[in-house]
Structure 1
Amino acid sequence: MQQMATEPRGEELSLAERAYRALRDRLVMLEIRPGAPINEDQLAQSLGVGRTPVREALKRLQYERLITTYPRRGTFATEVNITDLAHISEVRQELEPLAAALAARRATATDRATLTALRQELERADSRRRDAAELLHLDLQVHRAIYAATHNPYLDDTLVRYDNLATRIWCLFIDRLSDMAGHVGEHGPLIEAIVAGDPDTAARLARSHVEGFERAIRDAV
């Protein structure tokens, strides 16, 4: 027992981060359904980690509004409420253009290579039919790569949280959205503007993308 107590914190943190990312994406993609109970033991077993990393992950996920805890009832995946769309969009319409412009100014060679690879993946997705889950995963990858290219950790964290919440709404109405591939494909010109170092065009395309997302959801409701 003493050996376990003196194990390096880095390993524990890496397990917590792994648990967090896996659970976050399950919640975002509605693989854990809204309102479903969260069982720590089952999650720990399915992820192959102990309960402590799972508890650390759940603390972060509660802060990010992906799970909620009720006294004497337990912990549950947060419900998806369409009325949240307007609030989420207000934030994203201001911050997504800022992130795109900063990425165009600050992206490193590594960032540009990552974005270029995603651009190529978008082209492949456009040339052959992809299922909705694959397109959503690709959409998340593009957004997260753009946020990382801002090299502003506070902006990155904020936008990942709001993009996660927006994606949950998207998943809820995915069967009613007619041109999902087209929406994801809009990232192509945005990536091109960022890689070319054109902040004004990048900001304009990012704002248009967010506005188009909100319209598509409202049309589907």
Structure 2
Amino acid sequence: MPGSAPSLAEQAYASIRDRLVMLEIRPGEPINEDWLSNDLGVGRTPIREALKRLESERLVVAFPRRGTFATDVHISDLAHISEVRRTLEPVATAAAAERATDAERIALTALREDLATTGDPGDNAGLLRKDLGLHRAIYRCVHNPFLEDTLVRYDNLATRIWCVFVPRLSGMAGHVHEHVPLLSAIIDGDADTAAELTREHVAGFERAIRALI
């Protein structure tokens, strides 16, 4: 229900998901349910419910009699992920510009101010976490739970690719700071500019990764 506290399974899902996205659980690594249960302070049932959901999102894969593993990151998936994002994200940011509530615009303004004063440009892990948070905040402003879930899912997969290549990547701070004008467009209700900036942002992500292949 809206406003209700997340269930134990939802809490476990969010925590395990972000560990997988940020590669804190490495691609191909086995998922130790007992360890996660102890680390998160929940029973094995919420862990198993979370893992079933994560399997549907292509973040883990289960094999009979072998167990559950973090999925590998395949660069061959980049084109497919980018195709989905190029199609949906401009639609989403345009909708966010039109539909965001006053409270959400205030929250986005705070995020924009925080981003504009981001400290260490060499903290790529911190920048990636900030990038995830910004995207998820924008997706919430679309007020379409089906589209939001899809966008989060593909942004998670894109971020895993970022994490693989980030040690070799320069200019990560610049990529994240591209959100400043995008946030401004959404805050100002400029749907056309928000959509165009999003198209450029997604294309820039794909170009940056392909330049390293």
TM-score using structure 2 length: 0.96
Matching residue of 1:57 = 50
Matching residue of 1:5 = none
Unaligned ranges ≥5, structure 1: 1-9
The amino acid across from 2:29 in the alignment is A
2:68 is matched with which residue: 44, 62, 75?
A: 75
* Percent of aligned pairs sharing the same letter: 66
Matching residue of 1:181 = 173
Matching residue of 1:194 = 186
1:41 Cα deviation after fit: 0.9
1:176 Cα deviation after fit: 1.2
> Once the two structures are superposed, what CA deviation does each residue of 1:59-89 show, in whole Å capped at 9, x if it has no partner?
1100000000111211000000000000000
TM-score using structure 1 length: 0.92
Matching residue of 2:160 = 168
Q: Does residue 117 of the first structure (1) align with residue 85 of the second (2)?
A: no
Q: Does residue 90 of the first structure (1) align with residue 83 of the second (2)?
A: yes
The amino acid across from 1:73 in the alignment is R
Q: SS at 1:76's partner residue?
A: strand
Q: Does residue 66 of the first structure (1) align with residue 42 of the second (2)?
A: no
1:204 Cα deviation after fit: 0.2
Any runs of at least 4 consecutive aligned residues in structure 1 with deviations exceeding 4 A, and if so which? none
Q: SS at 2:117's partner residue?
A: helix
Higher gyration radius (CA): 1
Alignment root-mean-square deviation, CA: 1.2
Query: What is the alpha-carbon distance in structure 2 between the residues aligned to residue 153 and residue 62 of structure 1?
Result: 20
Query: What is the alpha-carbon distance in structure 1 between the residues aligned to residue 11 and residue 142 of structure 2?
Result: 23
Matching residue of 1:103 = 96
Query: What is the alpha-carbon distance in structure 1 between the residues aligned to residue 87 and residue 135 of structure 2?
Result: 15
Q: Does residue 209 of the first structure (1) align with residue 208 of the second (2)?
A: no
Matching residue of 2:145 = 153
Unaligned ranges ≥5, structure 2: none
Aligned length: 210
Query: What is the alpha-carbon distance in structure 2 between the residues aligned to residue 51 and residue 113 of structure 1?
Result: 39
Q: Does residue 43 of the first structure (1) align with residue 41 of the second (2)?
A: no
